Amino acid sequence: MPGYLTLIFLCQLVGELFVGALALPIPGPVVGMVVMFLYLLVRGHVPDGLGRTAQGLLGAMSLLFVPAGAGVMLHFHLLGEAAVPLSLGVIVSTLATMAVTALLMKWLVGKGQAHG
């Protein structure tokens, strides 16, 4: 288990170094995800221990957003000042984005299957 946690940390570190060196506009952990994915492609399967370690982290993913979420308290006044445009923007845009993406994907996948 510690071995696979080390592997995950290494992937993130490689991702951070890559992003830092090339000044890319994406987060290091996202590149780390790609590095881990490439490792799995080469390896050809997910080792049991890695699967369990990943399951542990992903099963707790909601918990991991709590500290950042509590940061809301820093901006009560700003949120209050522009409450209407901000809340309407978040609500309308989140629902619209989700509907457009899901319906388009459903339609395109359905079309692909219909054509074989």
Partner 1 sequence: MDESLQNLAETWVYLSASPLFHLTLTMVAFQIAAWVFQKAGRNPLLNPVMIAVVIVVTVLVLTGTSYATYFEGAQFVHFLLGPATVALAIPLYRQWHVVRRSALAILVSLTCGSVTAIVTAVGTAWLAGGSPEILATIAPKSVTAPVAMAITDEIGGLPSLTAVLVILTGIFGAMFGTHLLNLCGVKDWSARGLAMGTACHGIGTARALQVHETAGAFSGLAMGLNALATAILLPILWGLVF
Q: Under rule CB under 8 A, which residues in 55-114 are in contact with partner 1?
A: 57-75, 78-79, 82, 84-86, 88-106, 108-109, 112
Residue (21 or 60) nearer to partner 1, CB: 60
Q: How many residues does the chain have?
A: 116
Q: Which of 2, 21, 25, 114 binds partner 1 (CB under 8 A)?
A: 25
Distance CA 105, CA 52 (A): 31
**Considering the rule CB under 8 A, would residue 22 count as an interface residue with partner 1?**
no
Distance CA 40, CA 57 (A): 18
| Minimum CB–partner distance for residue 44 and partner 1 (Å) | 10
Q: Which residues contact 26 (CB under 8 A, 6 or more apart)?
A: 19
| Minimum CB–partner distance for residue 21 and partner 1 (Å) | 16
Angstrom distances, CA of residue 79 to CA of 29, 44, 69: 29, 48, 14
| Minimum CB–partner distance for residue 20 and partner 1 (Å) | 12
Structure tokens at 16: 């951070």
**Considering the rule CB under 8 A, would residue 3 count as an interface residue with partner 1?**
no
Count of residues interacting with partner 1 (CB under 8 A): 73
Q: Which of 1, 17, 22, 46 binds partner 1 (CB under 8 A)?
A: 46
**Residue 29 · residue 18 · CB < 8 Å:** no
